[in-house]
Amino acid sequence: MEASKKVVRNRQVGFALLFLCAFSTYLNVGLIAVGLLNISDLVWVPSEVLGAIALVTGLAGGFYLSRRSVNLHLPAMA
C-alpha cells in the first residue's frame, strides 16, 4: 500500500514537471512563432532562457518519472 502511494506521488511529480515543460514550450514556441504574443513584454527574461528552462524541465521530468517508476516497480515484480 505504501509503495503504491509513492508510485502515484512520483508519477504526479513527473507529470507536473512534464506539463510545465509543455506549457513553457507552448508559450515560447507556439505563441512567439505565430506572433500573437511577445513574451518579453510579460516576462523580463530572454526567450532563449525560457527555452532552456523548458528543455531542462522536460528532461528532468522525464528522467524523474522514468527512474522513479523503474525503481519502485522492480521490487514489486520480484
Give the sign of the dihedral formed by CA 48, CA 49, CA 50, CA 54.
positive
Confidence label for 74 from pLDDT (cuts 50, 70 and 90): very low
pLDDT tens digit string along 4-63? 676 667 777 777 777 776 776 666 666 565 555 555 555 566 667 767 777 777 777 677
pLDDT at 47: 66
* CB-CB contact of 7 with 72 (8 Å): yes
How many structural domains comprise the chain?
A: 1
Whole-model pTM?
0.39
Range of the domain at 8: 2-77
Cβ atoms of 4 and 73 within 8 Å: the answer is no
